[in-house]
Amino acid sequence: MQQIPVHQHDPKQVDGKIYVRLTEGHFQQIRRVISGGLMLMFFLTAWINLDGQQIVLFDFSSRRLHLFGMLMSPKDIYLLAGFMIVGAILLFALASAYSRVWCGFACPQSIWTWVFIRIETITEGRRNNRIKDDTKGWNTAKLSRRIAKHSLWAAFATLTSMTFIGYFVPIREIANDIISLNLSLEMFSWILIFALLTYVNAGLVREKVCAHMCPYARFQSVMFDPDTRNISYDVERGEPRHKNRSSNDSGDCIDCKLCVHVCPTGIDIRQGLQSDCISCGACIDACDDVMTRMRRPTGLIRFISENQEQGKASPVLRPRIYAYIAAIVMISGYLIWAFVNKEALIIDVIRDRQTLFVTNGAGEVCNEYKLIVENVSIANNSFTLGLDSTLLRLEGKSQLNLQQGQRDELNYRVCAPVNADTSLLPRQINFTAANSAGQWQQLSSFIMPQQRR
Ligand code: SF4
Ligand code: SF4
């Protein structure tokens, strides 16, 4: 197992603020496309409705999850767990192949941190200006720059918080309540809490989350092997580094430190692989730019595996990756099958507890029930409702036609002749619903006068 050193920060940045310099280049373009796409998805998906229903909504009040036109109940929670397991294996495969590219390119913590750094650069200027600003005293210009930065951070954090909560409470309701100044104190508090968390995470704590709070930084070495592509500085080519390449034995590194200045976690990758590196590729882009300007080949810092460094064959697709892919295919296959064949109907039976039984004009003793039925399949369905006992008579609607996602509350009576032999009558009864796809049932109790002791 490859051991990854924990910290080797640039000495000037230890215990201090990290002033990140934004850079341009191949990997930054890829990162922006991925993070821009994901961010757009996050902000827009909550607003998309299908047949009047928000397409992604974790509705805790009715214990239902609406997912792209499908309805899931707590019984389907194992499906969600399964999809999360597939996601985790995908992450392992990605880490084994290309180290922490998930962290650098797609993790929400990084994406939001980059946005906050961009806002900081727009409002307070580039890295050098920000350092100068921090060493100078306060004046009106500095104060207005700070106010602008923190206001934009706060606005973006609030927008993020409202959207996030909009996946648990219909987002249009939240928006209407805000517009009509009718927001409840509870909702206001939730928005405030998540906005604060976003603000602190992406604005103030930043790379410390990746280094100290995210467990991934610690166990990543388990997933690395000699074929894993890591961000690596070519020591042989770069050293000895010299600011002006006057000496004949100078390496290609001109010690400009741009690779350190652009690093969002503030490390110097020239010290070797470190656990704080989130594989964002910013140092590659910065160094490639320097090398191009120096008319030297690019790639002084690059994604390379240990085996490649030693000139050995190093395929990305290897047995370990094939094993991950096989696991993903098998679990996904099972989940898709389970999803298509998942429970089509949920029946809840609520027995009337006010009146144990009533007698009707036909000389029968009846118990009263409320049935809550919900079609949670991916299609409209019809069901025939009945009882599992032929000794009892069910009074109520026997044919149910439910649209996909439709929920109905229906009243039923279960009756038996008043003089029936109670020893033959069941005390436990099952309400059944059946169609050509299967049968569903829910247990309840039946009480006759003689059964009271
Ligand atoms: S950016 Fe490249 S040349 Fe500049 S210090 Fe880093 S490795 Fe050396
Ligand atoms: S060392 Fe390079 S790849 Fe790693 S986090 Fe810093 S800039 Fe990104």
> In this predicted structure, what is the pLDDT of residue 72?
81
| Ligand 1, pocket-test mutation among 259, 268, 291, most atoms within 8 A of CB | 259
When pLDDT is cut at 50, 70 and 90, the band that residue 14 belongs to is: very low
- Closest approach atom of ligand 2 to CA 301: 2
Look at residue 339 and tell me if it is in a domain.
no
Do 360 and 392 belong together in one domain?
yes
Look at residue 240 and tell me if it is in a domain.
yes
When pLDDT is cut at 50, 70 and 90, the band that residue 12 belongs to is: very low
290 lines ligand 1 (CB under 6 A): yes
Residues 6+ apart with CB under 8 A from 213: none
Domain span at residue 268 reads: 230-309
Residue with tokens 């005390």: 427
| In contact, 201 and 112? CB cutoff 8 Å | yes
- From ligand 2's centre to the CA of 288, what distance in Å? 14
When pLDDT is cut at 50, 70 and 90, the band that residue 75 belongs to is: confident
Q: pLDDT tens digits, residue range 146-199?
A: 999 999 999 999 999 999 999 999 999 999 999 999 999 999 999 999 999 999
> Is the pLDDT assigned to residue 213 strictly greater than 90?
no
Ligand at shortest distance from the CA of 294: 1
263 lines ligand 1 (CB under 6 A): no
> Is the pLDDT assigned to residue 1 strictly greater than 70?
no
> In this predicted structure, what is the pLDDT of residue 380?
82
253 lines ligand 1 (CB under 6 A): yes
- From ligand 2's centre to the CA of 86, what distance in Å? 27
Least confident of 68-72, 253-257, 417-421, 440-444: 68-72
Q: Give the closest residue (by CA) to ligand 2 atom 5.
A: 277
Ligand at shortest distance from the CA of 245: 1
> Is the pLDDT assigned to residue 452 strictly greater than 70?
no
Q: What percent of the chain has pLDDT over 90?
A: 64
When pLDDT is cut at 50, 70 and 90, the band that residue 63 belongs to is: confident
Q: pLDDT tens digits, residue range 230-263?
A: 999 999 999 888 876 666 678 899 999 999 999 9
- Closest approach atom of ligand 1 to CA 260: 6
Do 30 and 168 belong together in one domain?
yes
Do 70 and 48 belong together in one domain?
yes
Do 394 and 290 belong together in one domain?
no
287 lines ligand 1 (CB under 6 A): yes
256 lines ligand 1 (CB under 6 A): yes
Give the CATH number, domain containing residue 361. Answer: 2.60.40.10
More confident residue, 278 or 421: 278
Mean pLDDT in residue range 51-66: 85
CA distance 444 to 96: 52
Do 203 and 296 belong together in one domain?
no
Do 413 and 391 belong together in one domain?
yes
User: For residue 308, how far is the Cα from the chain centroid?
Assistant: 34
Mean pLDDT in residue range 357-376: 89
Do 167 and 237 belong together in one domain?
no
More confident residue, 226 or 242: 226
| Ligand 1, pocket-test mutation among 234, 270, 285, 294, most atoms within 8 A of CB | 270
> In this predicted structure, what is the pLDDT of residue 124?
95
Least confident of 212-216, 250-254, 285-289, 414-418: 212-216
> In this predicted structure, what is the pLDDT of residue 112?
97
> Is the pLDDT assigned to residue 11 strictly greater than 50?
no
3-class DSSP assignment, residue 370: strand
Ligand at shortest distance from the CA of 23: 2
> In this predicted structure, what is the pLDDT of residue 51?
78
> In this predicted structure, what is the pLDDT of residue 378?
67
Torsion on CA atoms 415, 420, 422, 425, rounded to nearest 10: -50
Least confident of 178-187, 251-260, 376-385, 396-405: 376-385
CA distance 121 to 148: 11
> In this predicted structure, what is the pLDDT of residue 211?
81
Q: pLDDT tens digits, residue range 106-138?
A: 999 999 999 999 999 999 999 999 999 988 889
> In this predicted structure, what is the pLDDT of residue 246?
62
Ligand at shortest distance from the CA of 278: 2
Residues 6+ apart with CB under 8 A from 331: 82, 85, 86, 89
Order of all β-strands in the sheet with 399-402: 399-402, 381-387, 428-435, 438-445
Look at residue 314 and tell me if it is in a domain.
no
Per the prediction, the chain carries an average pLDDT of 89
Q: Give the closest residue (by CA) to ligand 2 atom 6.
A: 263
Do 111 and 258 belong together in one domain?
no
Q: Give the closest residue (by CA) to ligand 2 atom 3.
A: 279
Do 305 and 349 belong together in one domain?
no
Reference 34, options 109, 113, 107, 90; nearest CA is 107
Instruction: Name the token pair of 390.
Output: 């032929």
- From ligand 1's centre to the CA of 196, what distance in Å? 37
Q: pLDDT tens digits, residue range 287-341?
A: 999 999 999 999 999 999 999 999 999 999 999 999 999 999 999 999 998 887 7
- Closest approach atom of ligand 1 to CA 270: 7
Do 297 and 384 belong together in one domain?
no
Mean pLDDT in residue range 28-51: 95
> In this predicted structure, what is the pLDDT of residue 122?
97
> Is the pLDDT assigned to residue 221 strictly greater than 80?
no
Q: State the total domains in the chain.
A: 3
DSSP letter (8 states) at residue 130: H
- From ligand 1's centre to the CA of 259, what distance in Å? 5
> In this predicted structure, what is the pLDDT of residue 15?
47
Partners of residue 395 on adjacent β-strands: 413
Do 246 and 292 belong together in one domain?
yes
Look at residue 193 and tell me if it is in a domain.
yes
Q: What percent of the chain has pLDDT over 70?
A: 94
Look at residue 6 and tell me if it is in a domain.
no
> Is the pLDDT assigned to residue 217 strictly greater than 80?
no
Look at residue 338 and tell me if it is in a domain.
no
Partners of residue 399 on adjacent β-strands: 384
Q: Give the closest residue (by CA) to ligand 2 atom 4.
A: 277
262 lines ligand 1 (CB under 6 A): no
Mean pLDDT in residue range 416-435: 88
Q: Give the closest residue (by CA) to ligand 1 atom 4.
A: 256
> Is the pLDDT assigned to residue 48 strictly greater than 50?
yes
> In this predicted structure, what is the pLDDT of residue 247?
65
> Is the pLDDT assigned to residue 224 strictly greater than 70?
yes
- Closest approach atom of ligand 1 to CA 257: 5
> Is the pLDDT assigned to residue 101 strictly greater than 90?
yes
Look at residue 3 and tell me if it is in a domain.
no
CA distance 246 to 307: 33
> Is the pLDDT assigned to residue 404 strictly greater than 90?
no
Look at residue 337 and tell me if it is in a domain.
no
Do 280 and 401 belong together in one domain?
no
Q: Give the closest residue (by CA) to ligand 1 atom 3.
A: 253
- From ligand 1's centre to the CA of 10, what distance in Å? 13
